[in-house]
Amino acid sequence: MEINGVAHIQLTVNDFASCSRFYKRLLPFLGLKLVLDTNEFIYHVGGRTAVAVTPADPEQRAARFEQRRIGLHHVCFRARERTDVDALHEFLLELGATIVHPPEEGAWAPGYYSVLFEDPDGIRIEVNHVPGKGLLGAGGPA
């Protein structure tokens, strides 16, 4: 068997109202189309994947995202061009997103270039560009 990518990512957030507004602006900028929008669920599709955002259960809402806890560390989307990373950074500044690191080169793969930021609940998101197929072409880590 060989999987064909990631079907969807579902993020559970504390402040659904703020996060919903954030993702409804961010995800279309990344080329994902909003296909479902309810009081407790948004779902965007594009780039051979989908992203859902849902509220946390009420008894969990005091918790804050911790990158090193069990579970999600961060989500990383792959940009087609290096300039897309720069354009996203400018857009994130307009959104008022928390920038963890502005666009920079990384040692993960030759030509690795990325921006790392947080949503309103502190969930970390990265967008990177790696020339060619990068390590994905070798079947290795992204």
Domains in the chain: ranges and CATH = 9-57+73-138 (3.10.180.10)
Q: Average pLDDT, whole number, for the chain?
A: 91
Looking at residue 119, the DSSP 8-state letter turns out to be -
Looking at residue 108, the DSSP 8-state letter turns out to be S
- Give me the pLDDT at residue 6, please: 87
Phi-psi category of 84—alpha, beta or left, where left has phi over 0 and alpha has psi -120 to 50? Answer: alpha
Q: What is the pTM of this model?
A: 0.89
Burial of 41 (0-12, 13-18, 19+ CB in 10 A): middle
Q: What share of the chain is helix, strand, coil (3-state, %, to 5)?
A: 25, 35, 40
How would you label 15-34 residue by residue, b for 16+ Cβ within 10 Å and e otherwise?
ebeebbebbeebbeebebee
Looking at residue 93, the DSSP 8-state letter turns out to be H
127: pLDDT strictly greater than 90? yes
The pLDDT tens digits for 51-99 are 999 999 999 888 888 888 878 899 999 999 999 999 999 999 999 999 9
pLDDT greater at residue 81 or residue 142? 81
